Amino acid sequence: MAHNLNFNSRTGKYSFFSVQEKAWHGLGQIVQDYPTSEEAIRYAGLDYEVIKSPLFTKSSNIIETSQGIEVGYGELDVPNYFANIRSDNNAVLGVVGKDYHIVQNREAFNFFDAIVGGGDGILYETAGALGNGERIFITAKLPDYIRVGNGDDITEKYIFLTTSHDGSGSITAAFTPIRIVCQNTLNASLRNMSNVVRIKHTSGAKQRLEDAHKVMGLANTLSNQLQDIFNNWTKVRVTDSEVKKLIQLALCPNKETLDLLKKGAEEEVSTVFKNTVDDAFAYAMISDTQQMETTKGTLFGAYNAVTGYYQNVRNYKDSEAKLQSIVLGGTAQLKTQKAFELCTSFEKIGADAFELN
């Protein structure tokens, strides 16, 4: 899988660090112990400032002289637009408007420290920069877990943050639980409670970033509710045919495909969709992690069939595309949310929730 990690020619290092595991093709700095925020910034090559610099363009003037016509050049100010520039190597990260507020890399780490009051409460696991350093990301592990079944099936609780310096997108912080045994990202939003906080790059962005940890207090509420839900799902039995119906409904790409499924015309759906369903169903049936007591023949296992497909089976063009799809509101996150809602309905009304007619 390709990567888009920033390579800092000044230091000769990739802008990435990871604790213990050799992620991102083994590039970057692998450290053995969880670092402080100051150490994480340095390990990840994020110890640079971003400066908003005025933009200029060349202007030309035609001048008549005794020798003929000459062209003179000068500088022309570009009003209300600025270039965001890295302080360490003068790389231009993007062009932004006058109201764009820079959130420095250290401020992003301050967000994490503020969530649990700093100290040993938050564990920085990965961080890095993409492209020329215009996008940064941080993942940090919270100190407790979501425990399913007898406690053998453990999901770690992470908070993921990404921000950009090129004027695109917003600052995004997401509560992202990850099941240890298979690294499935079990994202889910409950009712009106989202697992994502988005903050615009406007003049108040810094203040809102400092206040965002209050909203991320939802992570505790969300994780407690998910623990109860997942444990209940381990006690709900599902058949293989019901698992396949869940997969079909959750992964269905459009109304036309759904109509064909309802008519029983599965042979008429696209080959791409059939292969996708088959791959996800195969994962549900043969994956070692799907044969655990908590997942084999259970509603929790049915949900993991969809999350596991997107995390461990589906191919992505690069790691950034996978991140976008699974964590940042892309296709995988939308489809797994659909699976979560279908499983919630199944728990309440039974097999009718998976029926196609």
Q: Is residue 225 part of a domain?
A: no
How far, in Å, CA of 202 to CA of 211, rounded? 15
Same domain, 311 and 347: yes
Render 212-272 in DSSP notation, one character per residue.
Answer: HHHHTTHHHHHHHHHHHHHHHHTTSB--HHHHHHHHHHHH--SHHHHHHHHTT-GGGS-HH
Question: What's the rounded Cα separation, in Å, for the pair 202 and 204?
Answer: 5
Residue type, 283: Y
pLDDT tens digits for 272-323? Answer: 889 998 999 998 888 877 788 888 999 999 998 888 888 888 887 877 777 7
Q: Does residue 86 form part of some domain? A: yes
pLDDT over 50 at 188, yes or no: yes
Q: Which one of 187, 220, 253 terminates a domain? A: 220
For residue 294, the one-letter residue type is T
Own/partner long-range contacts of 189-195 (Cβ < 8 Å, ≥24 apart): 189/337, 190/222, 190/225, 190/226, 193/218, 193/221, 193/222, 194/218, 195/219, 195/222
Instruction: Specify if 229 maps to a domain.
Output: no
Of the three residues 97, 129, 159, the one that is the final residue of a domain is 97
Inform me whether the pLDDT recorded for 164 exceeds 70.
yes
Are residues 138 and 37 both part of a single domain?
yes
Work out the pLDDT band at 51, boundaries 50, 70, 90.
Answer: very high
| Mean pLDDT score, 195-210 | 73
Determine, yes or no, domain membership for 318: yes
- Statement to judge: residues 201 and 307 lie in one domain: no
pLDDT at 99: 85
Is residue 57's pLDDT more than 60? yes
Structural domain that includes position 207: 7-48+101-220
Q: Which of 195, 220, 245 is the C-terminal boundary of a domain?
A: 220
Q: What is residue 46's predicted lDDT score, i.e. its pLDDT?
A: 93
Contacts of 217 (CB under 8 A, 6+ apart): none
Q: With cut-offs at 50, 70 and 90, classify the pLDDT of residue 61.
A: low
Q: Is residue 228 part of a domain?
A: no
Structure tokens at 62: 């035609």
Report how far apart the first and last C-alpha atoms of the chain are (Å, whole number): 40
Q: Where are the alpha helices (DSSP H) in the chain?
A: 37-43, 105-115, 205-215, 218-233, 240-251, 255-262, 271-286, 299-308, 319-326, 331-349
Q: Are 189 and 151 in contact (CB under 8 A)?
A: no
Do 180 and 293 lie in one domain? The reply is no
Whether residues 76 and 111 fall in one domain: no
Kindly state whether residue 226 falls inside one of the protein's structural domains. Answer: no
pLDDT digits (tens, 9 = 90+) for 78-132: 788 889 999 988 899 999 988 888 889 988 888 777 776 555 577 888 888 888 9
State the Cα–Cα distance between residues 46 and 194, nearest whole angstrom.
29
Q: What is the dihedral of CA 244, 247, 250, 251, to 10 degrees?
A: -130
Highest mean predicted confidence (pLDDT) among 89-93, 166-170, 195-199: 89-93
In a domain? residue 317: yes
Q: What mean pLDDT value characterizes the chain?
A: 82
* 241 and 318 part of one domain: yes
Spell out a b/e string for 270-298, using b for 16 or more CB atoms within 10 Å of the CB, else e.
eeebeebbeebbebbeebebbebebbebb
What pLDDT score was predicted for residue 235?
93
Q: Judge if 61 and 19 occupy the same domain.
A: no
Domain count, the chain: 3
Q: Tell me what pLDDT residue 1 has.
A: 41
CA atoms within 13 A on the CB side of 190: 16
Is 162's pLDDT higher than 80? yes
SS3 131: coil
Same domain, 42 and 189: yes
d(CA 71, CA 51): 33
Is 54's pLDDT higher than 60?
yes
Q: Are residues 252 and 178 in the same domain?
A: no
Q: Kindly tell me if the per-residue pLDDT of 72 is higher than 80.
A: no
Q: What percent of the chain has pLDDT over 70?
A: 86
Residue 199: how many other CB atoms lie within 10 Å: 22
DSSP 8-class letter at 35: P
* Tens digits of residue pLDDT in 312-336: 888 878 777 777 787 777 888 888 8
In a domain, 179, yes or no: yes
Res. 208: pLDDT tops 70: no
Q: Clarify whether residues 26 and 106 are in a common domain.
A: yes
Tell me: do 183 and 289 sit in the same domain: no
Residues 110 and 185 in one domain: yes
Residues contacting 292, CB < 8 A, separation 6+: 149, 152, 153, 181
Q: What is the pLDDT of residue 357?
A: 54
